[in-house]
Amino acid sequence: MLDEQRIYLMVQLALFEERHKNQLDGVQTYFRSDYIGRHMIKNGLRATLAFMLALAGWGLYNAETLIVDITKIDVMALGAKILFLYVLTLCGFLVLTYAIYAVRYARAKEDYNQYQELLQKLERVYRQEDTRRMIARRRGTQ
């Protein structure tokens, strides 16, 4: 005979896995620092690419001025400004990324703990069922 509690727990586990699959994989696979660091590297590269594209767009927009005034421009000062803006932009993105993924990891860890609790409940139900069967067999053989 099917145990309703066991079926209920199995359905809960299946739904939980379906809803939180990506989060559970991240928590099970990575340590917190690795999880956050991986995303910081990816977003750092994205921020660098976005900055380079924005810089290229600015250069194209101001191409005429840059070409006409090429001899008057202090290249070192312009390079220092660009580098400062890049570092500022990158730091902003990385701080934001750290905050976002630290919160996501904490939430995923909570979800993972809930998932483990459901698994433990299911395991207890199976043990109780096995114990009942063993007792029933003993009674039947005596």
On the CB side of 7, how many CA atoms lie within 13 Å of its CA?
4
Which residue is listed with tokens 């994989």? 25
User: pLDDT band for position 137 (50/70/90)?
Assistant: confident
Q: Which pLDDT does position 84 carry in this prediction?
A: 98
pLDDT digits (tens, 9 = 90+) for 93-111: 999 999 999 999 999 899 8
How sure is the predictor about 22, in pLDDT bands with cuts at 50, 70 and 90? confident
Exposure on the CB side of residue 72, measured as CA atoms within 13 A: 5
Choice among 20-29, 64-73, 75-84 with the minimum mean pLDDT: 20-29
Region 28-42: mean pLDDT is 92
- What would the pLDDT profile of 1-19 be if each residue is shown by its tens digit? 457 777 888 888 888 888 8
What is the token pair recorded at 13? 């586990």
Residue position matching structure tokens 């630290």: 102
Q: Name which residue leads in pLDDT, 10 or 86.
A: 86
